[in-house]
Amino acid sequence: MSSAVDDDLWSAIGDPTRRRMLDLLLRDGGGTSTSLGQQLPVTRQAVAKHLGVLDRVGLVQATSAGREKLYRVDEAQMARAVAQLAEVGSAWDARLRRIKRIAEAVQKAQDE
């Protein structure tokens, strides 16, 4: 692979609640802790904690919206995550092709 996989980024994305939050933010174009908390089966405090993790890895950006913060997905960081996932997928596809070739060679040798 040409670039290193960002483990912190993927650790943040690995949590199902955070993935759901990202889905909601992408769908709605943004949201606050309160608005997200109304759509998720977790407390507002848990939402704020999850948003803090997403913010630390750069997946969301916050702007002031009255007394709350409005969170939006950082499209550049999300594109980086997608590119990393595609790269990891390609690497595993190549590995699996090699394993298949080895298995076919072993099978062919056994058949002869």
Which residue in the block uniquely carries the two structure tokens 């390609």? 90
Q: Report pLDDT for 85.
A: 86
What's the confidence (pLDDT) of residue 4?
Answer: 66
Amino acid in position 49: K
| pLDDT at site 1 | 42
CA gap 18, 10 in Å, rounded: 11
pTM of the model: 0.77
Q: Which domains does the chain have, with CATH numbers?
A: 7-111 (1.10.10.10)
Q: How far apart are CA 110 and CA 65, in angstroms?
A: 69
Per-10-residue mean pLDDT for the chain, 112 residues long? Answer: 72 95 96 94 93 96 92 94 88 92 92 86
Specify the 3-state DSSP secondary structure of 3: coil
pLDDT at 3: 55
pLDDT attached to residue 100: 93
CA 48 to chain centre: 18
Residues 6+ apart with CB under 8 A from 19: 13
**What is the rounded distance in angstroms from the CA atom of residue 27 to the CA atom of residue 62?**
17
- b vs e for 33-70, b when ≥16 Cβ sit within 10 Å of the residue's Cβ? bebbbeebeeeeeebbebbebbbebbbbbbeeeeeebb
Give the Å distances, CA to CA, from 105 to 91, 93, 97: 21, 18, 12
